[in-house]
Chain A
Amino acid sequence: MSNIAKALTGVWIAGVIAVAFLWLPPAQGFRSPEAARIVVFHVPCAILTFVAFLLNAAYSWGYLRTREPLTDAKANIAAELGMLFAVLATVTGSLFALEQWGSAWNWDPRETSIVMLMLVYAAYFVLRGAVEERTKRARLSAAYALLAFPAMVFLIWILPRIVESLHPSNTLFSRSGLDPMYRLTLWSFFAGLLAVFVWMFRLRLRVEIAETRLRQQMSREPETTLTGAKR
């Protein structure tokens, strides 16, 4: 990302935050209308969590097809970012739940599914830590990600249909759901956050590529790297 794009992202996000706190009217009909603004930040985090989860599954599938080490690295990075945004979505959601429903945790189907998603990520990282050999690690973790995928689909799309949810459904895209002002701010924040997501993703990928190069060099010329390390 160029410096201009980074600066623009910063200004954009700062602007959206200012709009959310200064211009956005309090949401009537909530227990504390002022606190309802957090929805604007909470929903984009949740969407990005699921985007990252889909990316992880897609890259895992891609890895099994191509056996390209970089695709495995991308799947791992998607999982890391997914974990980060899952934590953000959970914290913002809990704060709002405490304000609105009087308790930070209600075992609402969506709360359950995001906790399970974090468990899947945690298990994925544990598995990656448990396998030494690189190609084997890539293969096994990709297979695990693809096994966890249908289970998560069940939790995300089918569980809310069986159990009653506190979360509204179908508010993001339908006309009647969300106040237009809110919808606009929400998607603007999403755009800013998406830019941050892409930026972080590319940064992590650069680190990964640099590490790979370093490892290759070290295995090729052990003496020079030894003296390099001493210096």
Chain B
Amino acid sequence: MSRSSGWAREAIAVFAKDWLVELRTRVALGAVVLFAFTSVVASGFALEPPSGVPAEVKASLLWVILFFAAVAGLSRVFVVEEETRTADALRLTVSPAGVFVGKLAFNTVLMCLLCAVTVPLYLLLLEAPVRHWNLFVVVVVLGSMALACATTAVGAIVAKATTRGALFGVLAFPVALPPLLVAIHATKAAWVSENGWRVATGDLQVLTGFMLVIVPASLLVFEHIWSE
């Protein structure tokens, strides 16, 4: 069997193992979804009536909520390995690339689940005026994927640090900021612009380009983070 399919198989195994563990404990899922749910409900309650709030504010608020919800849970997938002392076993059996790609896939799926729960609720409670539905869905999917790509390697760093506390948010913010800014810009375009697709084309390109740059960069440094 070739080398590339070797790490792909390892990545799938890591991904399946992490979801099995997650579905047994539901720590990351619970943290992420509950954080987002609470913030959405609080915003909806505070911004009553929502029709008076400009769409720009609503678009920014949506991504701020998604980012902090991601911060609440995306480092979990690495922290749990250190807490249960299973990291060494994983290091012995799986190549670093396999571990990283598996955990990245886990985080991406987690972000997509988070969006599937949070975004409809947000649109409902805050009466967001969506004009271009296709564009909005594309922006949410690409944006949440980019957030997962930006923060997965940071999660690995945080899991190795002695004091984890609030470290993940502090470290993740600068790295996640470019996709966050671009996603807010594109969301505004999907909600209020006449010709949303034309306004947001550049943003979608930047989101894709960002992922194409940050994932290889993460892979490159991950080996140094992961191996002792």
Hey, which chain A residues are within 8 Å of B221, CB to CB?
64, 142-143, 146-147
Q: Determine if B32 is an interface residue (Cβ-Cβ < 8 Å).
A: no
A65 to chain B, nearest CB (A): 10
Task: Pick the contact of B185: A147, A152, A158, A162 (CB < 8 A).
Answer: A162
* A11–B213 alpha-carbon span in the complex (Å): 45
Q: Which stretch, B49-57, B100-108, B168-176, touches the partner chain A?
A: B168-176
Hey, which chain A residues are within 8 Å of B154, CB to CB?
144, 147
Q: Determine if B121 is an interface residue (Cβ-Cβ < 8 Å).
A: no
A142 to chain B, nearest CB (A): 7
Q: Determine if A70 is an interface residue (Cβ-Cβ < 8 Å).
A: no
Hey, which chain A residues are within 8 Å of B163, CB to CB?
130
Q: Determine if B220 is an interface residue (Cβ-Cβ < 8 Å).
A: yes
Task: Pick the contact of A123: B170, B178, B210 (CB < 8 A).
Answer: B170
Counting chain B CB atoms within 10 Å of each CB, which of A64, A139, A151 scores highest?
A151
Hey, which chain A residues are within 8 Å of B218, CB to CB?
147
A148 touches B175 (CB 8 A): yes
A129 to chain B, nearest CB (A): 9
B214 touches A116 (CB 8 A): no
B213 touches A144 (CB 8 A): no
Q: Determine if B12 is an interface residue (Cβ-Cβ < 8 Å).
A: no
B149 to chain A, nearest CB (A): 11
Counting chain B CB atoms within 10 Å of each CB, which of A139, A148, A150, A155 scores highest?
A150
Instruction: List chain B positions with a Cβ less than 8 A from chain A.
Output: 150, 153-154, 157, 160-164, 167, 170-171, 173-178, 181-182, 185, 202-203, 206, 209-210, 213-214, 217-218, 220-222, 224-225
B88 to chain A, nearest CB (A): 15
Q: Determine if A127 is an interface residue (Cβ-Cβ < 8 Å).
A: yes
Per-position binary interface string of chain A over residues 13-35, scored 1 when its CB falls under 8 Å from any chain B CB and 0 otherwise? 00000000000000000000000
B160 touches A131 (CB 8 A): yes
Number of A-B contacts (CB under 8 A): 94
* A153–B209 alpha-carbon span in the complex (Å): 12
Given the known inter-chain contacts A147-B153, A158-B206, please indicate yes or no for A119 contacting B160, CB distance below 8 A.
Answer: no
Given the known inter-chain contacts A127-B167, A140-B160, A151-B177, please indicate yes or no for A64 contacting B224, CB distance below 8 A.
Answer: yes
Given the known inter-chain contacts A126-B170, A140-B157, please indicate yes or no for A147 contacting B162, CB distance below 8 A.
Answer: no
Q: Determine if A154 is an interface residue (Cβ-Cβ < 8 Å).
A: yes
A71 to chain B, nearest CB (A): 13
Hey, which chain A residues are within 8 Å of B178, CB to CB?
151, 154-155, 158-159
A127 touches B214 (CB 8 A): no
B224 to chain A, nearest CB (A): 5
Minimal Cβ-Cβ distance residue in B for A60 = B221
* A143–B213 alpha-carbon span in the complex (Å): 15
A132 touches B162 (CB 8 A): yes
